[in-house]
């Protein structure tokens, strides 16, 4: 795995979804000026997550059996949950492709999605730094 694509792509959904959560919670104080951003950020995050997931699936065959593969499947499962939560958040608060102000359910989906995103991201880091997945083992550390 000289230059795996998945780790480079995941930064986009992570950034977009995290900023959307911040915008939604900031809207409790700042109003529409904040939550107007979350719809676009969620949409870009969801599209880029699909691209990142496809890249991850292509790279799955290079993950060694055992604990690294188990962690990979756990990472995939948690990130799919994050994707579902953020996609639901996006779709539930759209009216004719126009974003609506977040309600209690939106903020709950934001919080749950962010927790899943953080846990899945931690597992992704464990796969790279703990198991060495995606690193060039021929080069010195």
Q: Using CA atoms in the order 74, 25, 13, 44, what is the torsion angle rounded to 10 degrees?
A: 140
For the four alpha carbons of 53, 58, 61 and 64, in that order, the dihedral sign comes to: negative
Which pLDDT value is given to residue 1?
Answer: 47
Inside any domain, residue 1: no
**CA atoms of 131 and 141, how far apart (whole Å):** 14
Q: Classify residue 140: in a domain, yes or no.
A: no
Residue 112 belongs to what domain range?
Answer: 6-130
Does some domain include residue 126?
Answer: yes
Of 83 and 138, the structure prediction assigns the larger pLDDT to 83
Segment 25-66, tens digit of pLDDT = 999 999 898 888 899 999 999 999 999 999 999 999 889 999
Question: What residues contact residue 101 under an 8 Å CB cut-off, 6+ apart?
Answer: 27, 32, 35, 93
Q: Which pLDDT value is given to residue 42? A: 95
As a whole number, mean pLDDT of residues 19-28 equals 95
Residue at 125 is within a domain = yes
68-72, 79-83, 88-92, 130-134: range with lowest mean pLDDT:
130-134
* Stretch 2-7: mean pLDDT: 82
Please say whether the beta carbons of 134 and 72 come within 8 A: no
Q: Give a yes or no: residue 88 inside a domain.
A: yes
Q: How confident is the model at residue 139 (pLDDT cuts 50, 70, 90)?
A: low
Domain assignment present for 137: no
Residue 88: pLDDT above 80? yes
Q: What percent of the chain has pLDDT over 70?
A: 94
DSSP H helices, the chain, are: 6-9, 11-30, 32-59, 67-92, 104-125
The radius of gyration computed from the CA coordinates of the chain, to the nearest angstrom, equals 17
The answer to whether residue 136 sits within a structural domain is no
Looking at the structure of the chain, the number of domains it has is 1
| CB-count exposure of residue 136 (10 Å: 0-12, 13-18, 19+) | exposed
DSSP letter assigned to residue 62:
G
Note whether residue 139 is domain-resident.
no
Residue 136 has pLDDT above 90, yes or no: no
Q: Tell me what the pLDDT averaged over the chain comes to.
A: 91
């Amino acid at each position: 795995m000289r230059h795996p694509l998945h780790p480079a792509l995941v930064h986009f959904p992570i950034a977009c979804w995290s900023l959307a959560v911040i915008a939604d919670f900031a809207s409790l104080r700042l109003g529409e000026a904040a939550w107007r951003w979350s719809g676009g950020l969620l949409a870009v995050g969801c599209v880029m997550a699909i691209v990142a997931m496809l890249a991850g699936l292509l790279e799955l065959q290079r993950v060694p059996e055992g604990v690294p593969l188990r962690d990979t499947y756990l990472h995939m499962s948690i990130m799919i949950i994050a994707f579902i939560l953020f996609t639901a958040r996006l779709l539930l608060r759209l009216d004719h492709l126009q974003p609506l102000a977040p309600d209690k359910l939106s903020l709950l989906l934001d919080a749950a999605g962010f927790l899943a995103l953080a846990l899945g991201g931690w597992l992704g880091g464990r796969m790279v730094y703990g198991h060495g997945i995606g690193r060039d083992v021929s080069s010195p550390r």
